[in-house]
Amino acid sequence: MNFKHMNFKNMIEEEIEQWVSEFHPTVEKEVLDVLRARVQYSILDQLNYMVSNQLGTPDEVKKIVLNEITEITNESIEYEMDKK
């Protein structure tokens, strides 16, 4: 790994540390509650990052993220069944 790649990696890690909230379930009692809370943290982190980095106005950024969520939810859903 060269110096330029290491420097870029460090920059990304610092930016991730600044913008990505850590999530530690505390009051959630159900798996679904934990999953919903993780999604909420992720969406809010993305909105804050995009607005702070002037990737659009708050309303524009909300539309972009909502479109991304719509695309994700319109994709086929695959699930794994536990093999016991």
Query: Does residue 5 sit within a domain?
Result: no
Query: Does residue 65 sit within a domain?
Result: yes
Query: Does residue 67 sit within a domain?
Result: yes
Query: Does residue 11 sit within a domain?
Result: no
Query: Does residue 13 sit within a domain?
Result: no
Among residues 34, 37, 55, the alpha carbon closest in space to that of 46 is found at 55
CB 69 within 8 A of CB 40: no
Q: How confident is the model at residue 84 (pLDDT cuts 50, 70, 90)?
A: very low
Q: How many domains does the chain have?
A: 1
What pTM, to 2 d.p., does this model score? 0.70
pLDDT reported for residue 4: 61
Given a cut of 60, whether residue 83 has pLDDT beyond it is no
Given a cut of 70, whether residue 80 has pLDDT beyond it is no
Query: Does residue 38 sit within a domain?
Result: yes
pLDDT tens-digit profile of 25-66? 888 889 999 999 999 999 999 999 999 999 999 999 999 999
Range of the domain at 26: 22-84
- Rg value, the chain, Cα: 17
Mean pLDDT, range 54-82, rounded to an integer: 88
